[in-house]
Each structure stands twice: as C-alpha cells, then as structure tokens.
Chain A
C-alpha cells in the first residue's frame, strides 16, 4: 500500500494538473483562436515559441524558469516587489512551470479545432445578428468542442507526467512540491520497488484511462460532425 507521503504527492500532483489545465484553457483559448485566424506574417514565431517545450530538454526549460522565478529574475523579482512570496520552490512556481511546459498540448489541439471550424460558420452567425463575442461562444466553442476535450485531457495528463521541470523549480519538498513522478524516482533510488510499483501503476492506469476517453469521445464527435 502507498504511504501517506505518497498519497500527499498524488494529491499535489492532481491539484497541480487541475489548476494548470484550468489556467491553460483560459490563456490558451484566446491564443489558439488568434493563431488560427491571424494573417500576420510572423505568426510562425509565436507558433515556434508555443511548441518549444516539445523539443527542449525539461532541465533546460526548468533552468530558465528557475532563474526567471528567483528573487533576482524578472518574474520572481516583480512578484516580490509587489509584496508577494518568492515563487521558486513553491506550488505557485510549479503551476507557472507546468503552464509553460504543457502549453503546446493545449494550444495546438485548440488551434487545429478552430482552424477546422473555419470562417464560414462565423460569417453565417454574423448575418444572423450575433456579435463577435456572441458568435465565438455560441458557434466557435461548440464546434470546437472535441478540440477542447483533447486540449484539456492532454494538458492534464502531460502535467501529471512532468518531471524535469518540477525537479528544477520545485525541488522535492514532501507535502509541498513533491509530485508523483519525483516520489517514484525517490522510491527507486531507495530501492523501495513496492512503493514505486504502486505509484507508477496508478499513474499508468490513470493516464491510459484518460487517453482512451479522449480517443473514444473524439471518435463519437467525428461521427456526429460528419
């Protein structure tokens, strides 16, 4: 059976994934919408920046985040100047790191979904008296629903599996910043394979179930949308 420290790590991991996914959907939706519609010639620069975490070693990303979030860094410095707590080695810092790290997994499905919706339904809605905001919520979002589902699940699942970035900016503080992936690492280091099995198996099962849900639901959506 997993110990109480493991359960805490699991709880922190789920919280981190949930909060990050929520923030990613809020930030990623307008960004994806803009990327899907803009004619700006330098759009590719923004797209490359969003995709960067896909190819960058998590340690490199984590290293830069550590510097940015530290008291001397631009983000950490600003937060402290405003009277906030330092971000490095805190849960808030982990959330910021996860948001950056999982950004492509949320933005790309959304961007593809919005592109697939196309301009025509929006024009139709405009001729049916819907204002731009109105048609975004009543036409673009419902038609892009499969994209939202994919984005949310991939963002969540990817944050669950994060390791390098967390290790760099969150350290490994049990009960505060220790997440499952790092707890597994610790167990293996300590040759406690039983605990490592429990946690790893749990994460494997959870990830598998979520991905199956996405693929199954997307297939159904496709049938409905023809």
Chain B
C-alpha cells in the first residue's frame, strides 16, 4: 500500500514536473515557498487539473495513467481546502452528510460519529457555517472529508487562513488524526512548525520540482538544503517517556539518540512524544564536560558541516541512531579543529515538546 505518482503540467509561466513514491500511511508533508506548486500537486492528485499528464496509483488502485482518468468524484479522496469551504446553504450536519451519502458506505453513521468525535464538533451540528469561527469551519471541513472514509486525505494548508490562536486550536485535532488513523495524509504547508509537528515523511518542493524527499529527520538535517540553513533549524526526535521524576519534574525519554532528560511537564510513562531540539541549543565539547548544568551530554560524531555565512557553522552530529543539528561559531570550529569524523560530546541545552 503506497502512493506512486508522476506528473507533468505546463501552464506557460509555471510547470510542474515530478515523480514521487509516498508511504501508504502517516503524514507526508509537502513543504515549500508559495507558488512552488504544492497546491497544484494536490489538485492534480484529486483530479481537479484535467490537463496534467502522468500517472497516480493509490493503494493499488490506478486513478490516472495514459489510458484512464478517473474523474474527481470517483476518486476515494478527501480534500480539505485552504480556506474553509463549507456549503453555506447547508447546516454543519448537512455538510457532513453531503459527502457521506455519496460515498461507498452510503451513510454509514459509525464513521460519521467517529469523525464528529475526533474533531470535537458535536455541539456545532445544527449550526449554519457562517455562524462558525474559521477554526470551527475548518474542523467541520476535515470531518466532512474523513466521514467518507477516503483512501487518501489531502490537506492544503488547512491552517494558513487562521490566526495563531485558531491554529493552536486545530493542530491538536490534526495530531490526533495522525495518531489514531492509519489513513495516509498529504499535508501541504509552508510552515516549518506545522511540518515539524505533523510530518513523518517530507517532500521539499521548489519551482514545480521535488528538491528533496525522505523521512522528516533526514530531510531536516540535510545540510545541502536551505531548510537546515535557517536560523530556526531544528531536529525532531521521537521517543517514549520511560520515567518521570516528580521531585524536580524531569522526564526521561528513550529515543534513537539515547535517553534524553528534559523538563516537559508531567507526562505518563509509555507515552509517545515528539521532541524538538533547536540547533542553537546544541553545543559540542571535545571532552565530556564535568559538573555541567546541562542535563543531556551524549557522545557524538561529526558527520558533516556547512558554513552559514554569518560566522556560524551548522554541524550534523550522529548521536546513537539519531542525528542532531548543532549550530556553533566559526571560531569554535577553527579553535577546536572540528571536522567530519571527529568524536565529540554533544550538549543539549534544551528540549521542547512538539504539540
């Protein structure tokens, strides 16, 4: 079960030309600047761009190839548009039932109930869309798409039209979908934060082409991409909470990088967490520091480094089975003779919980 596609689309000043194989589960984020073709890619996949040439197979089903073009209404796709796009002439429930009634299940109410529950919109069912806030409308739109039990959920910057507060209201719901459903999702975004929180797999697009593709961690830590060159560069590490010390509120998370200690609030053991480590919060030392206030000091090896032009150098460190980015000064690199292959000690000053 996977998603394979290859498409070409020419529109004079813009062209899309890419080929991708995406995992059949989890969130694949498509990241890139505005105008890079992210939305067009989703529209092509949904069958809304008739002039795109190529092929698309979703979970063994062919939606488009040289011989056939399955029209959008016959594709088992759920599409959440960038701006809330509820039908103004139907109530919230009417909107939810619109797609449900027309999909295979023919009004399977169990699935509808689950969608209502997942997005927390039960209290909105009788309302008209214009009485809802932007965030509520978007939650209903997501539930409407989910209720049809799509084979693939396409989300086109569903948070872009919302302010920071509303975004914060929806993200937890999206993360919940991610945790509780096996449904593959393609999440288009130009927000690094959303990608860090949501994505398992990452596709970086630029000018209608795929610039990089791979697991979130791999792509985020590739020093040849602009994504790792930004001031907010970070590493995302997933792990499981295995201890909580109530004396000083420190959580121990076992991860590919080894045990990480951090003050993250009270978390239950066994809980799956996604952690963020900012590159600027990671420093290196040639010898294991003694009597340090830093909780996490781990043996590491420098894999790669890249100049950042501002007197900084970005290091990619191998720590256990994980990779960490570390942003240090050029002077430190010279004075410590940091170079690829060198064994160091990585000091992680701060670890944040994503979501």
* Chain A residues engaging chain B, CB cutoff 8 angstroms: 120-121, 123-132, 134-135, 138-139, 142-143, 145, 224-226
B74 nearest CB across to chain A (Å): 8
List residues of chain B with CB within 8 A of the CB of A135.
Answer: 73
- What are the 7 closest A-B residue pairs judged by CB atoms, nearest first? A128-B99, A129-B102, A127-B79, A126-B72, A142-B89, A124-B85, A126-B73
* Bound Cα distance A226, B145 (Å): 24
List residues of chain A with CB within 8 A of the CB of B145.
Answer: 127-128
List residues of chain B with CB within 8 A of the CB of A123.
Answer: 48, 72, 81
Q: Does B98 reach chain A (CB closer than 8 Å)?
A: yes
Total cross-chain contacts (CB, 8 A): 63
Whether A226 lies near B78 (C-beta < 8 A) is no
* Bound Cα distance A186, B85 (Å): 57
Whether B98 lies near A127 (C-beta < 8 A) is no
* Bound Cα distance A224, B87 (Å): 12
From B48, B87, B102, contact of A134 by CB (8 A): B102
Secondary structure at the A interface, as helix, strand, loop or mixed, is helix
Nearest-CB residue, chain A, relative to B81: A124
Whether A131 lies near B88 (C-beta < 8 A) is no
From A127, A134, A139, contact of B77 by CB (8 A): A127
CB within 8 Å of A: which of B61-102? 71-75, 77-79, 81, 85, 87-89, 98-99, 102
Q: Does B122 reach chain A (CB closer than 8 Å)?
A: no
List residues of chain B with CB within 8 A of the CB of A142.
Answer: 89
List residues of chain B with CB within 8 A of the CB of A139.
Answer: 87
Q: Does B29 reach chain A (CB closer than 8 Å)?
A: no
Q: A127-B79, A145-B89, A224-B88 are in contact. List 14 more A-B contacts (CB 8 A).
A: A124-B81, A125-B73, A125-B98, A127-B145, A128-B148, A129-B73, A129-B74, A130-B98, A131-B73, A138-B98, A143-B87, A143-B89, A224-B130, A225-B88
List residues of chain B with CB within 8 A of the CB of A125.
Answer: 73, 87, 98
Query: Number of residues in B with C-beta < 8 Å to the partner?
Result: 24
* Bound Cα distance A110, B79 (Å): 29
List residues of chain B with CB within 8 A of the CB of A226.
Answer: 88, 130
A143 nearest CB across to chain B (Å): 6
Whether A128 lies near B144 (C-beta < 8 A) is yes
Whether A129 lies near B88 (C-beta < 8 A) is no
From A121, A127, A131, contact of B87 by CB (8 A): A121
* Bound Cα distance A10, B46 (Å): 55
B348 nearest CB across to chain A (Å): 44
* Bound Cα distance A126, B99 (Å): 9
List residues of chain B with CB within 8 A of the CB of A134.
Answer: 73, 102
From A121, A124, A128, A132, contact of B102 by CB (8 A): A128
A136 nearest CB across to chain B (Å): 12
Q: Does B296 reach chain A (CB closer than 8 Å)?
A: no
List residues of chain A with CB within 8 A of the CB of B81.
Answer: 120, 123-124
List residues of chain B with CB within 8 A of the CB of A145.
Answer: 89
From A127, A128, A143, contact of B88 by CB (8 A): A143
List residues of chain A with CB within 8 A of the CB of B87.
Answer: 121, 124-125, 139, 143
A130 nearest CB across to chain B (Å): 6
21 residue pairs of the A-B complex, CB under 8 angstroms, read A120-B81, A123-B48, A124-B81, A124-B85, A125-B87, A126-B71, A127-B46, A127-B48, A127-B77, A127-B78, A127-B99, A128-B73, A128-B99, A128-B144, A128-B148, A129-B73, A129-B103, A129-B148, A138-B98, A139-B87, A143-B89
